């Protein structure tokens, strides 16, 4: 009974973590200004499933949190509330809380009660439509501030005194109101000074019933009169006016793309680009003119950040010369010359109508707009701009299809299947060999059948192996959150990009590559990408780019972490290395050698230790982990242009490229990655040292001579000239490994020796050869160590007669 329940628990845990991950990725993708109803519904469904599941299993704590979460989501999807950036933050926090609770139920530490309460309170407050009275977790203490408000009210509001009064009363509720200009028929502009605790978003919300959020001009500075003058010319009845409400919405789906293109479009014209996402709005001439003028007064990001997150700089200058940085390999540049870009927005809600009405509006307005105001999306989501817009839809289609057509199978079952297929392949090879003895004429049918069998088994093996393969997006998908959080913490602006999400990698590798990659990403953010100020000073886009890329190269998967930050500092690394007295450091080292110093244990060039990184534990661990997976790490860096970390991994943990060697009748596999070269030694090349230790003189280097037969106590070839010396490179450096003969190169399936036996010194695993026999895979570093030390010492103590006490 209890076993049955725990089985169900497992399913619930798995499903819930999946829902949580799904929710998080949806939240991060969510466009705060214009959330798609579909996304909100998907988030709601995920929360609802978690609630249902946790209720069924009696995890009431989770039910409570999800209930609160659901309430807010429900109001959002019914469009009773507008989505705000702090809601997304609260949702993410709730997701974290749920995850903590889930871990607790799985036997992890207790979730933080205070945090749960706080998140629930925050959600409740948001759901009731109020801003949190107390400072939320992030410490976004709100202070009373003065905001200058100006907006043109629609004629009917002005005409009807009651409506206007209500509106003003509503404003008075959230702010101390000082009306500068009460709208009247002649001038429908409402102008007021507000002293308020609330953000711009709430003010816009209050007015939203009558005025589009974007039409509300809020600023910290007094709006200059020139702007008003223009308002006069934009009577409420202007046909373009009504469009204004809709135009921004129409632009929304295109944001991601346009956020990319701006600087490229203009090169020398600083600023225009950021306005690009407003372009469709430009079709409404009159309001556009307002913007133009108000902006010209040197103002204040009129259209900034409706979400009102004060901690992020709303105004950002784009320095000339940014253009190259903005042109991405992704081909966003395509849209550069299409500021009107209407065709691109086919899917945009409301646009066709807008377009028709705006027919007369000159599209050329846009380029003249001196944009101070960064595009909304840029400010809403300052930390992360996952360049996904273009891909989003197709991704979504894929995800939907995946959930419908996949089944959940335990990894053990898959591994069992892989083992069985492996056996089948061996059996097939045996059959094929046996069949060779037959006369091809009389046994024609048999031979044809065996040929067919071999083809089918090969296909079968390939498809079975592919079951274990997972796309890299499994790894990449956790980084938008990491980058978002970290960039916020470090006050940096970082855009994350992924290339090659669909590159497939063995499940085992996927699990093990995440930690090293997290390290690299954190490093890039902390040390690589500079602060916006530094970047601007260096003539770069203030927003740094972090690219994660995966691709296949031959039998390897290559994963790259690329940042466009400051690059590695050669002098600093050299100085640090000298300070740490790392051997072999001198000024004449090549860049490549200098970069390798970073991988030395305890090495950090960070000026100060932060909680993100800088303690100097990291790169050495990254390197060790990746080498443990049979991979390699390389670094490329160019000062001022960034750093690229390249990880090369074998396609799967289960398969190894190896050279089989024979020693005393036994077969061993040497991993190909460890072999530098193989050669037949001349007697003269062998030198002795201290009488006993032997060295091989190869190409000017003296390498320690290790005889595999001696290490393993086998009867190998005694005559050195009859054997083969393999130059191998492991943790212990280079060594010459002496073996009887080279047998051939294979791809071998790695089997654990420890599963049924124990760890054997010098052996990293075993494999099954084509003839069904077992061969040992050498642990090159350990063998070198054993060969260099006293071989007697490394042998296990004699076991006989040693009775366990």
Distance CA(203)–CA(557), nearest Å, equals 52
Binder of other proteins out of 762, 780, 781, 785 (CB under 8 A): 762
Q: Does 315 bind other proteins (CB under 8 A)?
A: no
Residues of span 718-757 touching other proteins by CB under 8 A: 751-757
Taking CB under 8 A as the criterion, the residue among 607, 758, 790, 793 binding other proteins is 758
Q: What is the DSSP letter of 340?
A: S
CB 577 within 8 A of CB 593: no
Q: Which stretch binds other proteins (CB under 8 A): 105-113, 362-370, 542-550, 794-802?
A: 794-802
Using rule CB under 8 A, residue 777 touches other proteins: no
Query: Cα–Cα distance between 374 and 295 in angstroms, integer?
Result: 11
Nearer to other proteins, 67 or 751 (CB): 751
Alpha-carbon distance of 82 to 76, in angstroms, equals 6
Question: In sequence order, what are the beta bridge partners of 558?
Answer: 551, 648
Q: Dihedral of CA 622/627/631/634: which sign? A: positive
801 vs 595: CA distance, rounded Å? 54
- Among the listed ranges 156-164, 283-291, 629-637, 792-800, the one in contact with other proteins (CB under 8 A) is 792-800
Q: Which of 175, 776, 777, 782 binds other proteins (CB under 8 A)?
A: 776
Pick the closer one to other proteins by CB: 422 or 488: 422
Contact status: 141 vs other proteins (CB under 8 A):
no
CA atoms within 13 A of residue 668's CA, in its CB half-sphere: 24
Of 208 and 667, which has the nearer Cβ to other proteins? 667
* 423 interacts with other proteins by CB under 8 A: yes
**Shortest distance, position 388 Cβ to other proteins, whole Å:** 42
Q: Is 772 in the site for other proteins (CB under 8 A)?
A: yes
Q: What is the distance between the alpha carbons of residues 360 and 363, in angstroms, rounded to a whole number? A: 9
* 775 lies in the site for other proteins, by CB under 8 A: yes
Name the minimum Å distance from CB 415 to other proteins. Answer: 10
Alpha helices in 557-715 (DSSP H): 570-579, 591-597, 619-628, 708-712
What is the DSSP pairing of strand 701-707 with strand 733-739?
Answer: parallel
Where helices occur in 148-218 by DSSP H, the ranges are 155-159, 161-174, 200-207
Laid out side by side, the sheet with 543-553 consists of 493-499, 543-553, 556-563, 642-650, 632-638
From 244, 228, 240, select the one nearest 294 (Cα to Cα): 228
User: Please, which residue, 228 or 712, has the CB nearer to other proteins?
Assistant: 712
Question: To 10 degrees, the CA torsion angle through 327, 328, 333, 335?
Answer: -120
Conformation bin of residue 301: beta by default, left when phi > 0, alpha when psi is -120 to 50: left
> Least Å distance between CB 768 and other proteins?
5
Structure tokens at 622: 């990254």
List helix spans (H) across 468-506: 473-476, 479-490
Nearer to other proteins by C-beta: 11 or 774?
774
Of the pair 243, 728, the CB lying nearest other proteins is at 728
Residue found under tokens 């009859």: 722
* Position 760 contacts other proteins (CB under 8 A): yes
Does the footprint of other proteins cover residue 804 (CB under 8 A)? yes
Rule CB under 8 A: say whether 658 interacts with other proteins: no
Q: Binding to other proteins by residue 412, rule CB under 8 A? A: no
Nearest distance from residue 426's CB to other proteins, in Å?
8
**What are the C-alpha distances in Å from 432 to residues 446, 453, 511?**
10, 9, 38
- For the CB of residue 429, give the shortest distance to other proteins in the complex, in Å: 13
Decide: is 763 part of the binding site for other proteins (CB under 8 A): yes
Q: Please identify which residue in 712, 717, 724, 748 interacts with other proteins, judged by CB under 8 A.
A: 712
Closest of 259, 273, 341 to residue 545, by C-alpha: 259
Which C-beta is closer to other proteins: that of 597 or that of 659?
A: 659
Which helix (H) or strand (E) segment holds residue 674: the answer is: none
Minimal CA–CA distance to 767: which of 741, 742, 746?
A: 746
Residues 517-536 touching other proteins, rule: CB under 8 A, are: none
- Of 607 and 800, CB closest to other proteins: 800
Q: Which stretch binds other proteins (CB under 8 A): 129-137, 564-572, 647-655, 762-770?
A: 762-770
Residue 759 binds other proteins (CB under 8 A):
yes
Q: Is 487 near other proteins (CB under 8 A)?
A: no
Min separation Cβ 758 and other proteins, Å: 4
Is the CB of 687 or the CB of 795 nearer to other proteins? 795
Q: Which of 183, 223, 221, 178 is nearest to 196 (CA)?
A: 178
Is 626:636 a contact under the CB 8 Å cutoff?
Answer: no
Contact 673, 778 (CB under 8 A): no
Cα–Cα distance, 52 to 48 (Å, whole number): 6
Question: Which C-beta is closer to other proteins: that of 320 or that of 508?
Answer: 508
The reply to whether 422 sits near other proteins by the rule CB under 8 A is: yes
Q: Does 799 bind other proteins (CB under 8 A)?
A: yes
Number of residues engaging other proteins in binding (CB under 8 A): 39
Scanning 67-75, 207-215, 315-323, 709-717 for contacts with other proteins by CB under 8 A, the matching segment is 709-717
Q: How far is the CB of 785 from other proteins (least distance, A)?
A: 14
Contact between 803 and other proteins by CB under 8 A: the answer reads yes
Distances (CA, A) of 365 to 272, 529, 624: 11, 35, 57
Q: Is 410 in the site for other proteins (CB under 8 A)?
A: no
Place of tokens 């200059």: 224
Q: How far apart are CA 32 and CA 497, in angstroms?
A: 20
The window from 190-198, 524-532, 688-696, 705-713 that contacts other proteins (CB under 8 A) reads 705-713
Q: How far is the CB of 468 from other proteins (least distance, A)?
A: 15
For 797, which DSSP code?
P
Pick the piece of the chain touching other proteins (CB under 8 A) from 72-80, 164-172, 385-393, 758-766: 758-766
Among 100, 177, 230, 768, binds other proteins (CB under 8 A): 768
Shortest Å, Cβ 759 to other proteins:
6
58, 713, 744, 770: which one contacts other proteins (CB under 8 A)? 713
Q: Does 715 bind other proteins (CB under 8 A)?
A: no
Of residues 3 and 803, the one with the C-beta less far from other proteins: 803
Q: Which one of 431, 435, 714, 742 is in contact with other proteins (CB under 8 A)? A: 714
> Are residues 686 and 694 in contact, defined by beta-carbon separation less than 8 angstroms?
yes
Min dist. Cβ of residue 622 to other proteins (A) = 27
Quote the CA–CA distance of 183 and 161 in Å, as a whole number: 10
Between 539 and 770, name the residue whose CB sits nearer to other proteins: 770
Member of 41, 71, 330, 419 binding other proteins (CB under 8 A): 419
Residue pair 407/507 in contact (Cβ under 8 Å)? The answer is no
Q: Does 761 bind other proteins (CB under 8 A)?
A: yes
Which CB, 384 or 669, lies closer to other proteins?
A: 669
The CB-of-771 to other proteins minimum distance in angstroms stands at: 10
Count the residues in the chain.
805
323 closest CA partner among 519, 61, 540: 540
> What's the angle, vertex CA 800, arms to CA 797 and CA 802, rounded to 5?
75
Query: 159 vs 714, which CB is nearer to other proteins?
Result: 714
- Structure tokens belonging to residue 130: 């109020």
663 to 692: interface string for other proteins, x by CB under 8 A: ---xx-------------------------
Give CA–CA dist 619/633, Å, rounded. Answer: 10
List of residues contacting other proteins (CB under 8 A): 419-420, 422-423, 666-667, 711-714, 751-763, 766, 768, 772-776, 794-796, 798-800, 802-804
């Amino acid at each position: 009974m209890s076993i049955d329940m725990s089985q169900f628990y497992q399913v619930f845990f798995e499903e819930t973590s999946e829902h949580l991950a799904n929710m998080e990725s949806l939240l991060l993708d969510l466009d705060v200004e214009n959330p798609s109803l579909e996304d909100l519904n998907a988030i709601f469904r995920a929360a609802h499933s978690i609630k249902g599941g946790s209720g069924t299993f009696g995890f009431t704590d989770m039910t409570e949190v999800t209930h609160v979460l659901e309430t807010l989501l429900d109001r959002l999807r019914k469009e009773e509330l507008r989505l705000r950036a702090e809601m997304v933050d609260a949702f993410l926090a709730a997701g974290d809380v749920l995850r903590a609770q889930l871990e607790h139920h799985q036997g992890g530490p207790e979730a933080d009660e205070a945090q749960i309460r706080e998140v629930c309170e925050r959600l409740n407050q948001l759901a009731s439509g109020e801003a949190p009275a107390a400072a939320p977790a992030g410490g976004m203490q709100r202070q009373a501030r003065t905001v200058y408000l100006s907006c043109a009210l629609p004629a009917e509001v002005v005409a009807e005194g009651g409506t206007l009064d209500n509106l003003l009363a509503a404003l008075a509720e959230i702010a101390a109101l000082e009306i500068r200009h009460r709208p009247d028929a002649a001038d429908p502009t409402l102008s007021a000074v507000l002293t308020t605790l609330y953000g711009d978003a709430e003010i816009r919300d209050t007015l939203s019933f009558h005025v589009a959020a974007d039409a509300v001009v809020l600023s910290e500075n007094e709006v200059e009169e020139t702007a008003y003058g223009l308002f006069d010319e934009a009577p409420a009845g202007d046909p373009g006016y009504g469009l204004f409400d809709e135009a921004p919405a129409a632009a929304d789906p295109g944001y991601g793309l346009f956020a990319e293109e701006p600087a490229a479009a203009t090169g020398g014209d600083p600023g225009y680009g950021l306005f690009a996402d407003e372009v469709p709005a430009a079709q409404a001439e009159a309001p556009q003119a307002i913007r133009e003028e108000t902006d010209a007064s040197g103002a204040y990001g009129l259209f900034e950040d409706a979400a009102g997150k004060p901690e992020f700089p709303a105004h950002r200058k784009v320095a000339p010369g940014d253009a190259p940085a903005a042109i991405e390999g992704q081909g966003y540049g395509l849209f550069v010359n299409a500021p009107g870009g209407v065709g691109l927005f086919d899917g945009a809600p409301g646009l066709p109508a807008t377009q028709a009405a705006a027919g007369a509006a000159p599209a050329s307005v846009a380029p003249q707009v001196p944009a101070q105001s960064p595009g909304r999306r840029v400010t809403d989501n300052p930390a992360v701009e996952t360049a996904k817009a273009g891909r989003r839809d197709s991704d979504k289609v894929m995800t939907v299809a995946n959930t419908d057509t996949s089944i959940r199978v335990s990894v053990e079952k898959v591994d069992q299947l892989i083992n069985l297929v492996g056996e089948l392949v061996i059996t097939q090879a045996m059959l094929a060999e046996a069949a060779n003895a037959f006369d091809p004429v009389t046994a024609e049918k048999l031979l044809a059948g065996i040929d067919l069998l071999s083809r089918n088994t090969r296909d079968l093996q390939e498809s079975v192996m592919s079951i274990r393969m997972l796309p890299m997006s499994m790894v990449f998908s956790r980084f938008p959150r990491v980058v978002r959080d970290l960039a916020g913490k470090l006050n940096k602006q970082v855009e994350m990009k992924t290339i090659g999400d669909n590159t497939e990698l063995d499940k085992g590798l996927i699990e093990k590559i995440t930690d090293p990659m997290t390290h690299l990403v954190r490093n890039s953010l902390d040390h690589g990408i500079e602060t916006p100020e530094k970047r601007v000073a260096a003539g770069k886009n203030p927003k740094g780019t972090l690219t994660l890329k995966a691709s296949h190269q031959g039998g390897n998967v290559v994963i790259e972490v690329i940042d466009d930050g400051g690059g590695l500092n050669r002098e600093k690394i050299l100085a640090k290395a000298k300070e740490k007295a790392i051997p072999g450091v001198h000024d004449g080292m090549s860049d490549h050698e200098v970069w390798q110093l970073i991988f030395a244990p305890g090495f950090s060039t960070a000026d100060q230790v932060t909680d993100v990184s800088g303690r100097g534990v990291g790169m050495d661990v990254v390197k060790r982990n990746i080498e443990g997976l049979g991979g390699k790490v390389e670094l490329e860096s160019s000062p001022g242009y960034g750093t690229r970390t390249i990880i090369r991994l074998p396609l799967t943990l289960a398969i190894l490229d190896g050279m089989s060697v024979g020693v005393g009748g036994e077969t061993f596999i040497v991993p190909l990655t460890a072999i530098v070269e193989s050669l037949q030694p001349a007697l003269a090349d062998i030198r002795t040292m201290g009488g006993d230790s032997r060295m091989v003189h190869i190409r000017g280097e003296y390498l320690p001579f290790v005889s595999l037969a001696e290490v393993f106590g086998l009867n190998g070839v005694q005559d050195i000239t009859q054997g083969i010396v393999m130059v191998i490179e492991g943790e212990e450096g280079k060594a010459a490994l002496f073996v009887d003969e080279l047998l051939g190169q294979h791809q071998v399936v790695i089997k654990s020796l420890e599963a049924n036996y124990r760890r054997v010194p010098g052996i990293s695993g075993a494999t099954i050869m084509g003839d069904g026999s077992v061969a040992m895979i050498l642990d090159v570093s350990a063998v070198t160590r054993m060969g260099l030390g006293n071989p007697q010492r490394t042998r296990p103590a004699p076991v006989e007669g040693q009775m366990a006490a």
